[in-house]
């Protein structure tokens, strides 16, 4: 049975979160939402606050990750992060937005991680 879009998206976020934690990132929040939008994953990477936008695709032809994250989306992520930081004490030196694409197909997964897309 096929997963719903929400369940499939959550599945991709779980995979991306585990992948980034495996690289040593510390997960602070998942699916953080406020009136400005949503941040899929908020993490710390050696003093860098990472706001990760996660996409999952079944078709490897849909691998063009950079084209899926618009400047409007980036602005929403940044505004959303501003509100997150008002309510959470997080020590960091700098901040960046990463994109993580999970390609799911034929029982195998491939992850494309692009640091600092903004």
| Distance from C-alpha of 105 to C-alpha of 115, rounded to nearest angstrom | 24
| Distance from C-alpha of 91 to C-alpha of 47, rounded to nearest angstrom | 7
Which of the four CATH numbers 3.50.50.60, 3.40.50.300, 3.40.1350.10, 3.40.50.2300 does domain 5-114 have? 3.40.1350.10
| Distance from C-alpha of 114 to C-alpha of 40, rounded to nearest angstrom | 15
| Distance from C-alpha of 95 to C-alpha of 18, rounded to nearest angstrom | 20
With a cut of 80, say whether residue 41 has pLDDT above it: yes
Site of tokens 């934690």? 21
Q: Which two tokens stand for residue 75?
A: 């602005």
pLDDT band at 6 (very low <50, low <70, confident <90, very high): confident
pTM surpassing 0.85?
yes
DSSP H or E segment with residue 27: strand 26-34
């Amino acid at each position: 049975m096929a997963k719903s879009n929400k369940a499939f998206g959550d599945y991709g976020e779980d995979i991306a979160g585990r992948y980034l934690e495996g690289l040593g990132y510390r997960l602070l929040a998942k699916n953080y939402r406020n009136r400005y939008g949503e941040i899929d994953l908020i993490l710390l990477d050696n003093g860098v606050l990472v706001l990760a936008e996660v996409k999952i695709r079944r078709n490897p032809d849909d691998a063009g990750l950079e084209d899926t994250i618009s400047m409007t989306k980036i602005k929403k992520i940044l505004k959303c992060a501003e509100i997150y930081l008002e309510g959470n004490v997080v020590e960091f030196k700098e901040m960046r937005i990463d994109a993580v694409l999970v390609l799911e197909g034929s029982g195998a997964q491939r992850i494309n991680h692009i640091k600092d897309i903004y």
